Amino acid sequence: MRVMVIGGDGYCGWPTALRLARLGHHVSIVDNFSRRRIGQALGVESLVPISSLDERLQAWHELGGTPITSHEIDVAESFESICSLIEDIRPDALVHFGEQRSVPYSMESSSGGLFTVRNNLMATTNLLEALVQTQTDAHIIHLGSIGVYGYETLGYEIPEGYQRIRRVDPSGELGPEHESLHPFNPVSKYHLTKAMDHLGLAYYAAKHGVRATDLCQGTVWGAETEETRRDPRLANRFDYDPTFGTVLNRFALQAALGKPISVYGTGEQTRAFIHIEDVLGCIVGALASPPKRDDHRVQVVNQIAECMRINDLANLFADRSDSEVVRIASPRSEPDENDLAARNHGVKAFGVDPVLVSPAKIDTLIEFARGYADLADPRNLYPTEAPKNLEPVT
Ligand SMILES: NC(=O)c1ccc[n+]([C@@H]2O[C@H](COP(=O)([O-])OP(=O)(O)OC[C@H]3O[C@@H](n4cnc5c(N)ncnc54)[C@H](O)[C@@H]3O)[C@@H](O)[C@H]2O)c1
């Protein structure tokens, strides 16, 4: 297949591009390197040094990998450039990772929030519209978020895809049945963009017959994949800072350094997780399972392996290291506690039997982080105000 990987220089996109090339697909990476620039502006670096995209591709080439091409395009800004690239490549599929993905970045300032909304919404809309404009029948696979449904306790498993619903009228009578996507309840501007993307995909599927899949992904953890291990120049990024670090990777570095494992707020928040290898497995599965041409609906998959409470996760890391768990004021405005359950039948239908968090996996992650511990910047381990509030949990 000819596959365009949008955001193919990022944490999920880069190992995906390598996996797809290894499987023999013709891969074209599109990225505008905004993630690298935002990191530089904030003074936060990946723990693992990462090569430039050109160096990465050169290394892949030297190792005999199927060639991958790269194109520097801002997909949120350059509609014409996307259209001409799509016309040149005639892709069978687009895998769309190309968004601003930090929740705190979207919450902490108006400029960060507005950039996130502009970038993410226009990126997705431009890609969808470009498929229409160029009359390209490609399957678009978008990386969404399981957080679009909010972090209130719902009391049931979040389903995947369209639901049959009936309205209860004021007298308690049930109205006629119709089909609807599950309601959204975004808690950040980042999640707002993912909810709007989801609707955009549904709209273009219904009105223009675009074959679209939205992977409502949980927090990704893990460092290496089979391909990134092959050469240091192929290494993937590993973020631990309060803006871009995902919670397991951050806990792993804190544990590797023997520093406090920082739980935000009560730690009674429940979140969904998936390992980076399983992200790749799901993308491969999604590419093989596009929606039917006459379906006119977005295919929705909850791309998660499991849901876990943050306190339970933190305790696992504390048990496997010399670190203690501390609670710090949450830099995020989210509910203090919630239960979360979501169906993940789609992941299994993609043929993925997902890895679960386990003591052995945590040992491996801590060991990995320990290998780079001397490169960690202690100023980026906790949110700025945090050191004052580092109180061990009793
Ligand atoms: N990492 C996670 O835990 C996680 C969880 C749920 C969903 N997701 C989603 O998965 C996708 C990938 O996440 P990630 O962790 O790899 O993020 P990332 O920031 O590492 O990678 C995103 C890539 O997209 C590029 N990009 C952003 N805007 C672009 C634009 N306008 N034009 C071209 N390129 C652009 C960036 O430069 C970066 O290389 C995102 O959409 C994110 O919201 C990630």
The stretch 30-46 carries a mean pLDDT of 97
What's the confidence (pLDDT) of residue 386?
45
The percent of residues in the chain predicted with pLDDT above 90, rounded, is 94
The stretch 109-130 carries a mean pLDDT of 97
Q: Which atom of ligand 1 is nearest to the CA of 274?
A: 3
Give me the DSSP letters along 149-182: G-SS--SS-B--S-EEEEEEPTTS-EEEEEEEPP
List the end-to-end C-alpha distance of the chain, in Å, as a whole number: 55
Question: What is the H or E stretch that residue 124 is in?
Answer: helix 110-133
Q: Which atom of ligand 1 is nearest to the CA of 220?
A: 3
Q: Which atom of ligand 1 is nearest to the CA of 13?
A: 16
Per residue in 280-295, pLDDT tens?
A: 999 999 999 999 999 9
Per residue in 246-302, pLDDT tens?
A: 999 999 999 999 999 999 999 999 999 999 999 999 999 999 999 999 999 999 999
Three-state SS string over 210-269 comes to CCEEEEEECEEECCCCCCHHHCHHHCCCCCCCCCCCCHHHHHHHHHHCCCCEEEECCCEC
Over the range 252-279, which residues count as b (16 or more CB within 10 Å of their CB) and which as e?
Answer: bbbbbbebbbbbbbebebbbbbbbbbbb
What's the confidence (pLDDT) of residue 12?
98
Let me know if residue 376 belongs to a domain.
no
According to DSSP, the β-strands at 391-392 and 325-328 are: antiparallel
What's the confidence (pLDDT) of residue 335?
83
Let me know if residue 61 belongs to a domain.
yes
Q: Give me the count of residues in the chain.
A: 394
| In the block, residue with structure tokens 């299994």 | 348
Name every protein residue with a CB atom under 6 angstroms from any ligand 1 atom. 7, 9-13, 30-35, 74-76, 97-101, 119, 123, 143, 145, 217, 219-220, 246
Let me know if residue 320 belongs to a domain.
no
Per residue in 219-237, pLDDT tens?
A: 999 999 999 999 999 999 9
- Alpha-carbon distance of 106 to 387, in angstroms, equals 23
CA atoms within 13 A on the CB side of 41: 9
- For ligand 1, the distance from its centroid to the CA atom of residue 315, given in whole angstroms, is 29
Per the structure, the complete domain to which residue 21 belongs is given by 2-238+275-304+341-355
Which token pair is 366?
């801590």
- Residue to probe by mutation, ligand 1, list 5, 11, 38, most atoms within 8 Å of CB: 11
What's the confidence (pLDDT) of residue 331?
79
Residues 6+ apart with CB under 8 A from 163: 179, 180, 181, 182
Asked if 277 and 318 touch (Cβ cutoff 8 Å), the reply is no
Domain CATH code at residue 124: 3.40.50.720
Give the angle subtended at the CA of 55 by the CAs of 276 and 14, to the nearest 5°: 20
> Is the per-residue pLDDT at 384 higher than 90?
no
Let me know if residue 173 belongs to a domain.
yes
Residues 6+ apart with CB under 8 A from 258: 321, 322, 323
Per residue in 161-184, pLDDT tens?
A: 999 999 999 999 999 999 999 999
Q: Whose CA is nearest to atom 20 of ligand 1?
A: 10
What's the confidence (pLDDT) of residue 136?
98
What's the confidence (pLDDT) of residue 65?
95
Let me know if residue 390 belongs to a domain.
no
Task: Report residue 385's pLDDT band, with 50, 70 and 90 as the boundaries.
Answer: low
Per residue in 87-98, pLDDT tens?
A: 999 999 999 999
Let me know if residue 260 belongs to a domain.
no
- For ligand 1, the distance from its centroid to the CA atom of residue 58, given in whole angstroms, is 22
- The DSSP output letter for 388 is G
- Alpha-carbon distance of 194 to 146, in angstroms, equals 9
What's the confidence (pLDDT) of residue 333?
78
Q: Which atom of ligand 1 is nearest to the CA of 36?
A: 37
> Is the per-residue pLDDT at 388 higher than 50?
no
Per residue in 55-82, pLDDT tens?
A: 999 999 999 999 999 999 999 999 999 9
> Is the per-residue pLDDT at 389 higher than 50?
no
- The DSSP output letter for 187 is S
Per residue in 319-343, pLDDT tens?
A: 999 999 999 988 777 888 999 999 9
> Is the per-residue pLDDT at 14 higher than 70?
yes
What's the confidence (pLDDT) of residue 394?
44
Amino acid letter for position 320: R
* Mean of pLDDT over the chain: 95
> Is the per-residue pLDDT at 303 higher than 80?
yes
> Is the per-residue pLDDT at 131 higher than 80?
yes
- For ligand 1, the distance from its centroid to the CA atom of residue 173, given in whole angstroms, is 45
- For ligand 1, the distance from its centroid to the CA atom of residue 143, given in whole angstroms, is 8
- For ligand 1, the distance from its centroid to the CA atom of residue 264, given in whole angstroms, is 23
124 burial type by CB count under 10 A (0-12 exposed, 13-18 middle, 19+ buried):
buried
What's the confidence (pLDDT) of residue 328?
92
> Is the per-residue pLDDT at 393 higher than 80?
no
Let me know if residue 216 belongs to a domain.
yes
Domain count, the chain: 1
The stretch 104-124 carries a mean pLDDT of 96
Let me know if residue 198 belongs to a domain.
yes
- For ligand 1, the distance from its centroid to the CA atom of residue 97, given in whole angstroms, is 5
pTM, two decimals, is: 0.96
> Is the per-residue pLDDT at 392 higher than 60?
no
- For ligand 1, the distance from its centroid to the CA atom of residue 257, given in whole angstroms, is 28
- For ligand 1, the distance from its centroid to the CA atom of residue 235, given in whole angstroms, is 17
